[in-house]
Amino acid sequence: MANVASFEIANNRFNKKRKLDSAYIAIEDKSDICSDIDKLLFSGEFSDVTIEVENERFKAHRVILAARSDFFRCLCYNGMRESNKDVIQLKDISKSTFRILLKYIYTGTIITDEMKSCIFELIYFSDCYCLPKLHKKLIKFLSENLDPDLTLKAYEIAKLYEIKELMDASLNYIENNPCETLYHPSFDETSLDCVRDILKSDTLRISEIKIYEILERYLSNNNYSDSEAKSIVKEIVRFPLISYDNIIGRLHFDGMFNVKECLELMKIKDSTRSTKINYRHILQKDTNYVISCQSCEVIKGQPEIKLAFASTKLYGSKFLDESKQDSVIEFTLGKRCKVNHIKMIAYIQPLRRERRPSRISHRLRNSNNQRLPLDESQIEKRYDYRYSYEVLVSPDQKHWETAFKSRVFSTLWQNIYFEPKIVKYLRIVVLEVDDSIVTAFFHLLNFQCFYSTKNFECDRHSLVPYFNIISSPKIPKDYPGPVQEEYYCTYSDRTKTEKYNIFSAHDISDDEDKYLLFTLCQDCYVDTIVVHLWDRDQRLYDFDVSCGVYENDLEIIESRKRQRGEQIIRFRPMVIRFIKLKATAIYNARTDEFRVINLEVYKQQENR
């Protein structure tokens, strides 16, 4: 009986819900309403007001106008002078534009061809007549359908009325299509302020001499005096980016600058170091330039196996030697790009080794000392050889600047962040390889560079990350070395359980030296570590958290007793490279397994 009663209650609830839902969606005739209101507009039936635009009269209905627009509500019902008039005159707007707006007020639709013919007037008057939804949709439509005929005027209007979305879209279109827009006849009709903003853009994809030609033509067609033109050219054009031949052949022979002034410009060009020049460049946020530029080319270093992006041969324990250029991989992006983030993964393939003491504190896995052929199937898969390296960048292949230099041995994915730099050429220099390798190949398996929008700062030799710095991309399936732990956990016995990444599930009573050691890719200035402990059962953990810059000199920053789940650990800000998690006791469990699900490391952002 109880089951029958509960079934009847459930059935009644279902029927009640179904009735409510059915009552809500039983009839829907929105299309009929729109068509009927459309008929009212064009028939003029029941109209109680006439709007006159350019001597043409439009019959309308006050209640519909007021319901759709705050502008017309004030005009028709708020006691204004027009409220008592049968005919309302609107000035400044054309009758064709008003006809489109009036149809939108009545039906909520605009035909694309009609909209394109007067898009700028529609944007302006949709704002004037308090039609915010239409205004927003018009801006979006124009931003997504820019062409050389519209872009310059769109930028000018967006700048005038401070429409950021449209201004950004217009400038982005001009930067990516400079020849189509800057040589368009409408460019000469653009205001000087807009021309100045466009030609000063750092990301304008056109040579500096062409910028000079475009600006010189604009100033000449708009009848600027010689002194005014010269002053504007000096303000906008970046002379160190112009070749010596063009300084003499164009700037001098065009009559813009005399011989003395050209010599001064050449001196400025000579005295400006390439790394200090304000280069025009490509800026694509969170996009891999190696793929997007489509012109990346390896200059030094050739692939020895089909897996490698590039490879180079290493000799001796110290590889940074002027006489040995084999330890360098160099490549070009093909274009100057703004870069502040590099990802890469490499593999050391040993050819010959000699015995010598290891530099690292924890025990290493054994590996054979045999000479290996350059064959993917026979690459040694039992050990990841750690290496130190340096990343050099240059805008012109003449002057090189260090973007990052590793101070400890690294392995697996390297996620490096640094101050933004203009980069066209890059070098990966192997400084040293650990564990007594004499001759080896350095295979760069994957390389990516970005302009990252993640929130971080660079403080001297350390990174200040306001995001979780310890997360890592997946190890490639074709990685020739042993697939180690994700998140840079360099010493553990990770197992997989359900959908979790268990960093360790070892018996703490078996070996006192067992612990979890996480290695960051670079020194980081942080104040927060979040440890996610296994919480799918009743077990509790005692554990210590240690961290520091050097692996053999770690400081215990927190000891916790009988904990489970998420552990948020705050401490005084400090520079760290290594994080060690060590369990000291486990409760309510049949086995002494220390299970860590996830780890987060970051710096809390101060309220400013």
- CATH number at 350 reads 2.60.120.260
Whole-model pTM: value is 0.77
CB–CB of 105/117 below 8 Å? no
Q: Tell me 322's DSSP state.
A: T
> What is the per-residue DSSP string for 178-193?
HHHHHTSGGGGGS-HH
Q: Which residues touch 42 (CB under 8 Å, ≥6 apart)?
A: none
What's residue 138's pLDDT? 94
Q: Which of 298, 295, 352 is nearest to 328 (CA)?
A: 298
Element (H, E) at 315: strand 310-315
In a domain, 449, yes or no: yes
293 and 412, same domain (yes or no):
yes
In a domain, 170, yes or no: no
349 and 433, same domain (yes or no):
yes
425 and 512, same domain (yes or no):
no
In a domain, 130, yes or no: yes
CB–CB of 508/592 below 8 Å? yes
Is residue 196 classed as helix, strand or coil in its secondary structure? helix
Q: Which residues pair with 282 in a beta bridge?
A: 337
Check the CA dihedral 77-78-84-90 and report its sign.
negative
Which of 94, 112, 145 represents a domain boundary (last residue)?
Answer: 145
298 and 445, same domain (yes or no):
yes
Check the CA dihedral 464-468-470-474 and report its sign.
negative
Which of 111, 145, 179 represents a domain boundary (last residue)?
Answer: 145
524 and 597, same domain (yes or no):
yes
What's residue 476's pLDDT? 61
CA distances from 604 to 45, 90, 158, 188 (A): 66, 56, 37, 50
Q: Which of 141, 155, 129, 135 is nearest to 65 (CA)?
A: 129
In a domain, 220, yes or no: no
Structural tokens at position 316: 């001796």
383 and 531, same domain (yes or no):
no
Alpha helices (H) along 395-500: none
d(CA 422, CA 402): 12
d(CA 452, CA 571): 27
493 and 426, same domain (yes or no):
no
In a domain, 446, yes or no: yes
Q: Which residues touch 452 (CB under 8 Å, ≥6 apart)?
A: 285, 286, 340, 341, 417
427 and 560, same domain (yes or no):
no
In a domain, 462, yes or no: no
Ramachandran assignment for 108, one of left (phi > 0), alpha (psi -120 to 50 degrees), beta (any other) = left
Q: Which of 209, 206, 207 is nearest to 250 (CA)?
A: 209
The domain in which residue 499 lies consists of 489-602
d(CA 42, CA 36): 10
| Residues of the chain where predicted confidence (pLDDT) is lower than 70 | 1-32, 79-80, 82-83, 274-275, 304-307, 313-326, 352-384, 435-438, 471-513, 607-608
Q: Which residues touch 106 (CB under 8 Å, ≥6 apart)?
A: 37, 38, 40, 41, 64
41 and 98, same domain (yes or no):
yes
How many domains does the chain fold into?
Answer: 3
d(CA 55, CA 52): 6
374 and 326, same domain (yes or no):
yes
360 and 423, same domain (yes or no):
yes
What's residue 484's pLDDT? 47
CB–CB of 440/297 below 8 Å? no
Which of 406, 428, 453 represents a domain boundary (last residue)?
Answer: 453
CB–CB of 464/525 below 8 Å? yes
In a domain, 55, yes or no: yes
Q: Which residues touch 90 (CB under 8 Å, ≥6 apart)?
A: 51, 52, 53, 98
Structural tokens at position 332: 């070009």
Task: Tokens 């007037």: give the residue.
Answer: 121
d(CA 516, CA 593): 13
383 and 494, same domain (yes or no):
no
CB–CB of 557/546 below 8 Å? yes
Q: Which residues pair with 384 in a beta bridge?
A: none
d(CA 544, CA 190): 66
Which strands, in side-by-side order, build the sheet including 56-60? 56-60, 49-53, 87-89
Q: Which residues pair with 318 in a beta bridge?
A: 432
What is the residue type of 200?
K
In a domain, 1, yes or no: no
What's residue 212's pLDDT? 92
Q: How many CB atoms sit inside 10 A of residue 401's CB?
A: 15
Q: Which residues touch 571 (CB under 8 Å, ≥6 apart)?
A: 527, 528, 529, 557, 558
